[in-house]
Chains A and B, each alone.
Chain A
């Protein structure tokens, strides 16, 4: 069943424009995530070996398939800017919504930081000039993309569609250029991944690798942030999200196969540019330069989408008075949440200069996993409060509650994986969320208009 949902009503204020289609949704989701194939996923090899990186590629793929299924159902029904934030507001409550918005902002802002660092480091490595640092490239990337987002969502996502497609095609070209059907000429998987080194830490290394396995797909759920700017949310969001997930599963499998067949796992686990390195190791200048450009484009597309998503989550917090209403302004000409874009700009810049790549990635992953844990419980509550048939759903995901249970179990495993090597960082982050939740519940919530938090035309939830 397909229905077109009415835009959320927010008084007589200027609203966001409904201009996006399924291709933009695909570009937003894949654009944010594809950089994970160009850097980050390979740190899973560092934590558990090359085979562990492959195992988590597929198992974490299952986690994200669950995320995409769940997200498509809830978002095609709760079509409002803020994505999971709007879902939490209607299904769990204001405090959860406040936390979910912070998960989103942190996950995307730190992902943007990671992208900018990658871009800067890649250019510096290519230039090979003594004394050249990545700082100016990082600053230019973040500022120019913020300006692009300030100017309008349609232009932003049109740019994303083009550069994401080029980056994706480069992976396909690399894959077919190394004769994937033969071993020994270019690819040497049997000699690089041996029974003796496939799992150097044993099965605990596989569990530990879940942390960076998340990076293969982190951000695909960002498609929901565009819910209020999509022409037909019920059709475009599930279609764009699921198509994005299929695209990424294929890209992740090709990336692992090529990289694990060309580099020892110890090197693969520490390099910042596994695909570019693979391009270099082919000996073809054309492939090397193609993968260099594709690494830059993937980083740009991801940072671009992250600015888009983080700003919308922050904007939603202001609009609902969870944060000062100053953030809820929409630009009168460009119809973008410009104050939120500008507010998050210096925060991204600051962390791009003080964090290194795997630290920024870990910050992003932590917030992402907290959000997925929420999503697994959220869908159970959604089905309980509004059983099938009680409201019109744009899409109904199959096999409920199996995807929710799978998602929850994989989140628990991933928390344990983060504990193995990054436990202190996890405790510090959760302590922050706990303290800021106390601030919201006991102080900030008094500024929130209670009844206005529920804007969907649904009946009263069961049990209330």
Chain B
């Protein structure tokens, strides 16, 4: 097998590639934040009666909250801010498909490239 000689990349090309990678990193990490897609999916189950008992806190728990500087009113939004685990099947299926598709592509495309590497490395000898 003939040895592959890659093209030399110009300085402008290198700068362009760096810009592409930086933009991609910021889009991947910043966009979910900007679009509100990042962070926990929680909501507050509000209670009318804001007492330690109503909040499900026994005397030991209540004394620790108070030691930490909280009252039933200020602790309410912390205690009642809950996850609601409802499995959204369409989203779960999309997530599974994206993940499986990604890994299948990754391994198949990598294998094609790997064969180039192995052929060139070992056919030289």
Contacts and interface: CB of A to CB of B under 8 A. Distances in A.
B32 A428 contact: yes
Interface stretch (A28-36, A143-151, A445-453): A445-453
B98 A427 contact: yes
B32 A425 contact: yes
B9 A324 contact: yes
B48 interface: no
B102 A433 contact: yes
A363 B29 contact: yes
A325 interface: yes
Given A95-B106, A205-B85, A437-B105, A415 B98 contact: no
Chain B contact residues, majority secondary structure: helix
Given A205-B85, A436-B24, A188 B118 contact: no
A448 to B, nearest CB: 6
Contacts of B60: 188, 191-192
A446 B6 contact: yes
B115 A208 contact: no
A281 B64 contact: yes
B120 A354 contact: no
A354 B78 CA distance: 23
Given A355-B33, A454-B117, A204 B85 contact: yes
Given A415-B99, A450-B116, A425 B38 contact: yes
Contact of A441 (B21, B103, B113): B113
A99 interface: yes
A358 interface: yes
Given A362-B38, A424-B37, A454-B121, A430 B7 contact: no
A426 interface: yes
Contacts of B107: 92, 96, 377
Interface of A: 46-47, 88, 92-97, 99, 106, 110, 188, 191-192, 194, 196-197, 201, 204-205, 208, 262-264, 266-267, 270, 277, 281, 321, 323-326, 347, 350-351, 354-356, 358-359, 362-363, 373, 377, 415-416, 419-437, 439, 441, 444-451, 453-454, 460-461, 464
Interface of B: 3-4, 6-7, 9, 14-15, 17-18, 20-22, 24-33, 37-42, 56-58, 60-61, 64-65, 67-68, 70, 75, 78-79, 81, 83, 85, 87-88, 91-92, 94-95, 98-99, 101-103, 105-107, 109-122, 124
